[in-house]
Amino acid sequence: MTMTTCFYKATFRFIRIVVPMALLTTALHAQEEEREMPDFSWDTLPLYMHVRKATAFSDEEFRFLSKFPLITLEKSNGHDTYGSVDAGSIEAAKGIKALNPQAKVLFYRNVMVHYGGYSFDKQLEDIPGWYLEGKDGQDKLIRGRVRAYDLSNEKLRKWWVDTMAGVCKSEYIDGLFLDGNVKVLTTFLTGDLPKGKKEAVTEGYRVMMDESRKALADEKLMVANIIRARFDDSGLEFIDYFDGSYLEAFSHEVGGMSKAEYMAKGIAAVQKAAQDGKIIALTLGIGKTSLGDGIDESKGSIESFGAASQEQLDFNIALFLIMAEKYSYLMVSDGYGVDPGKDGKCESKLWMHTFPEYDRPLGAPKGAAVKDGMRYTREFEHVSVSLDLGTMKGELNWK
């Protein structure tokens, strides 16, 4: 995920880093000890919220946030008001839970990109070699502006695990959102690093995921940005570390596949994970989206909601319902940042906006989706759903 206003355009090949599967399946299974999952109901569309705001949320915003069963507080939350992202996230979670104690609130950490603003960042000064350096000595390898963690550094991994676990011990935080996984598990930066370094970073990631699961024990959730059709098995080969997956960049042409082929592969992966009981937090855009660095999706803010946007909304809801199972949640947005822009208006035009479809009776599915070529259909108690990847059209026949 990138900030809506900033992204880096680059091209490079996405070939899976070859790591023996034995190294990736020694992790603790995330659901050997069942954690308390988010509330879920088929009464209406189950919704997810993913948000960042540098200042404190208002009372009105807290009332809005408290309606969601699952919320991720993205990077930069509350640091202007409370002095750090970790303090701001805890205060935001506290405000949400004051209104809805059952809401599950996740704390954001990136496994590779060093986004600053955390109270514990200064501890990095005591860890030599905590960031990656390129072959040319460049030390800000992410978009030319931000440092990347050297996960082959044991002291760096310990700092990452200890600090995130410290925040997650808060009674107001229900678990961890892990971003940047795709950057570790593809060839991202491989050509910029000394020979063998990326493979060492990938192995360090495996160790860090083991350590993170142990640190959070059976009490806290771990939801990662991990299911992507670009992987051989769409990310399912890595999902045992986690209680579920956030999804972005779902509707693009990647890895030589057409958009329809890429989406069909992604649909199959999400259906499998959802049927296995994993949390699915699907984010889909309204307005133009792009892959800024070939991995992260940037959502362009819309100026108004018209007929074209309604078609996009119907498509997004249909796509979600074709895949959804218990613990699946949808977010339709034009960006996660909700700070006021220079014009005083919110960066996201859809912030705190709800659509009539969100309040329509849904009802439980009558069975799994039926696939015929690139067309999918599925019946719910109160709506018939069709999705055609050939025409990129979704239809909702509300009863």
User: pLDDT tens digit string along 142-183?
Assistant: 999 999 999 999 999 999 999 999 999 999 999 999 999 999
Q: What is the pLDDT of residue 349?
A: 85
Tens of pLDDT, residue by residue over 341-355, are: 878 788 888 899 999
Q: What is the pLDDT of residue 256?
A: 87
The number of angstroms, rounded, from the C-alpha of 197 to the middle of its chain's C-alpha atoms is: 26
Tens of pLDDT, residue by residue over 214-227, are: 999 889 999 999 99
Cβ-Cβ contacts under 8 Å for 331 (sequence gap 6 or more): 47, 48, 49, 50, 281, 282, 283, 284
Mean pLDDT, range 9-26, rounded to an integer: 38
Q: What is the pLDDT of residue 12?
A: 31
Give whole-number Cα distances, 133 to 123, 147, 148, 192, 194, in Å. Answer: 19, 9, 8, 8, 8
Name the pLDDT band for 194 (thresholds 50, 70, 90): very high
Tens of pLDDT, residue by residue over 20-30, are: 434 444 444 43
Question: Where in the chain are the domains?
Answer: 21-360
Q: What is the pLDDT of residue 288?
A: 72
Name the pLDDT band for 193 (thresholds 50, 70, 90): very high
Q: What is the pLDDT of residue 3?
A: 35
Closest CA to 245 of 221, 262, 264, 268: 221
Determine the 3-state secondary structure of 256 from DSSP.
coil
How much is the mean pLDDT over the chain? 90
* CA separation for the pair 93, 70 (Å, rounded): 11
Q: What is the pLDDT of residue 26?
A: 40
Give whole-number Cα distances, 61 to 75, 171, 351, 354, in Å. Answer: 18, 21, 9, 13
Determine the 3-state secondary structure of 398 from DSSP.
strand
Name the pTM for this structure: 0.90
Tens of pLDDT, residue by residue over 255-299, are: 889 999 999 999 999 999 999 999 999 999 987 766 666 677 666
* CA separation for the pair 304, 311 (Å, rounded): 14
Residue 87: both structure tokens together: 């303090």
Asked if the model's pLDDT at residue 240 lies above 80, the reply is yes
Q: What is the pLDDT of residue 251?
A: 87
* CA separation for the pair 336, 182 (Å, rounded): 19
Asked if the model's pLDDT at residue 7 lies above 50, the reply is no
Name the pLDDT band for 229 (thresholds 50, 70, 90): very high
3: alpha, beta or left, given left = phi > 0 and alpha = psi -120 to 50?
A: beta
Q: What is the CATH number of domain 21-360?
A: 3.20.20.70
Asked if the model's pLDDT at residue 237 lies above 70, the reply is yes
Name the pLDDT band for 95 (thresholds 50, 70, 90): very high
Tens of pLDDT, residue by residue over 107-140, are: 999 999 999 999 999 999 999 999 999 999 999 9
